[in-house]
Amino acid sequence: MHVPVGVKVGLFAVAVMGSYSYFANSIPQIESKPPQELSLEGGNVTPAQLVKAGEEIFHTKGTCEICHRIGQPGTRAPDLAGAGGRAAKRKPGMSAKAYLIESLLQPQAYVVEGYPPIMPAVDKPPIALNRSEVWALTAFLESLGGTVDVTLNDIPASVGAAAAGGGAAEFKIPGDPQAGAQVFQGKGTCIACHKAGKIGASPVGPDLSQIAKIQTPDYIMGKILNPAGMGTVAGFPKGVMPQDFGTRLTSKEYVDLVSFLLTLK
Ligand code: HEC
Ligand code: HEC
């Protein structure tokens, strides 16, 4: 029987995703606190201190700079210079503050024109900022051309709960990262276009050396099976990444490859 390629890929994706979810859920939920957790709740902080803390998070734990720059075009995401001022005009009837908070927590609610919807929610793994950190980051973004008026109460109390609960932050998929590195360089041909840490040097596609730090496993898995369906990374050509890995790789090769990519952080 002839099976259309799309269907094969679909079934393959569903099967692998299924086993992936199963394994993710069967890992014990270990409380894993990221280093240098910022807590400002209940404390007295001035707007200036808050902005400073937010700036620090932007450059470090937030990993924002892997995609964004301030005052520099040509990266994979909008230049955030003036973002605090621009925010008031993004969505009619929405304040700058509300828009910025939404940009961080539900990046897909408004997608800036010309960019793909690839920004992960910052309070979920892998970035996993807590409520204080999201508060400080919002203040920092407001300070870029706008007015710093965010209070802790503006940040929903549920923010960061997913990260604090542990579990999701440290899951594994049942693959062999070393075998995956071989797939990356061999049958997968990824190395022809991508660099991954010490492996490869091609600039055709994005450098994947820190992909697990900025992207969710769902995105990484989806991008391999259905690159076009996940949007095109800004600054890179559309339609260059092959669309047929779902039929070219065996499911073991695919799972090994994903485990390898998840070590890149
Ligand atoms: C994986 C890449 C990536 C990472 C990491 C990332 N972003 Fe983004 N971000 C984007 C892209 C792409 C857009 C534009 C598409 C959209 O609106 O979702 C965007 C949009 C935004 C916007 C809206 C800008 C506007 O002009 O309306 C803000 C604010 C923002 N990001 C802040 C941040 C902050 C702060 C961090 C770090 C905690 C961060 N982003 C991390 C890719 C990323
Ligand atoms: C012929 C070149 C080419 C090959 C081969 C290729 N890719 Fe890509 N890949 C690209 C390009 C170009 C982009 C950026 C444009 C886009 O998003 O489609 C990209 C994007 C990606 C992204 C998203 C990166 C990000 O920062 O969001 C991932 C993940 C990825 N590729 C993984 C792989 C893996 C794994 C393989 C091997 C199985 C592979 N690619 C093979 C060209 C390639």
- Expressed in angstroms, the distance from the first to the final Cα of the chain is 43
Among 169, 194, 215, which residue terminates a domain?
Answer: 169
The finding on whether 34 has its CB within 6 A of some atom of ligand 1 is no
Among 169, 202, 221, which residue terminates a domain?
Answer: 169
115 falls within a domain? yes
Rounded Cα gap, residues 232 and 189, in angstroms = 19
Tell me the CA–centroid distance for residue 178 and ligand 1, in Å: 32
pLDDT of the residue at 216: 87
- Domain with 96 in it: 47-169
38 falls within a domain? no
Residues in a beta bridge with 196: 199
pTM: 0.77
Same domain, 149 and 216: no
Same domain, 144 and 66: yes
136 falls within a domain? yes
Same domain, 164 and 176: no
20 falls within a domain? no
Same domain, 53 and 119: yes
10 falls within a domain? no
Same domain, 164 and 55: yes
Same domain, 164 and 180: no
Question: For residue 264, with 0-12 CB atoms within 10 Å meaning exposed, 13-18 middle and 19 or more buried, which class applies?
Answer: buried
The answer on pLDDT for 95 being more than 60 is: yes
Tell me the CA–centroid distance for residue 96 and ligand 1, in Å: 15
Among 115, 137, 169, which residue terminates a domain?
Answer: 169
pLDDT digits (tens, 9 = 90+) for 189-248: 999 999 999 999 999 999 999 999 989 888 999 999 999 988 899 889 999 999 999 899
Same domain, 87 and 200: no
pLDDT digits (tens, 9 = 90+) for 105-120: 999 999 999 898 899 9
The finding on whether 233 has its CB within 6 A of some atom of ligand 2 is yes
Q: 114-125 b/e with 16+ CB inside 10 Å = b?
A: ebbebbbbbbbb
Tell me the CA–centroid distance for residue 193 and ligand 2, in Å: 7
Same domain, 239 and 144: no
Tell me the CA–centroid distance for residue 237 and ligand 2, in Å: 10
Which ligand gives the minimal distance to the CA of 223? 2
The finding on whether 242 has its CB within 6 A of some atom of ligand 2 is yes
Whole-number mean pLDDT of the chain? 84
123 falls within a domain? yes
Span 254-262, average pLDDT:
94
Same domain, 78 and 150: yes
List the CATH number of the domain containing 129. 1.10.760.10
Does 242 sit behind a cis peptide bond, omega within 30 degrees of 0 on the bond before it? no
Per the structure, the count of domains in the chain is 2
Same domain, 249 and 182: yes
246 falls within a domain? yes
Please tell me the residue having the least CA distance from ligand 2 atom 27: 233
Which ligand gives the minimal distance to the CA of 81? 1
Please tell me the residue having the least CA distance from ligand 2 atom 13: 205
pLDDT of the residue at 29: 39
Same domain, 202 and 161: no
Tell me the CA–centroid distance for residue 68 and ligand 1, in Å: 7
The finding on whether 240 has its CB within 6 A of some atom of ligand 2 is yes
205 falls within a domain? yes
Tell me the CA–centroid distance for residue 249 and ligand 1, in Å: 32
Same domain, 51 and 164: yes
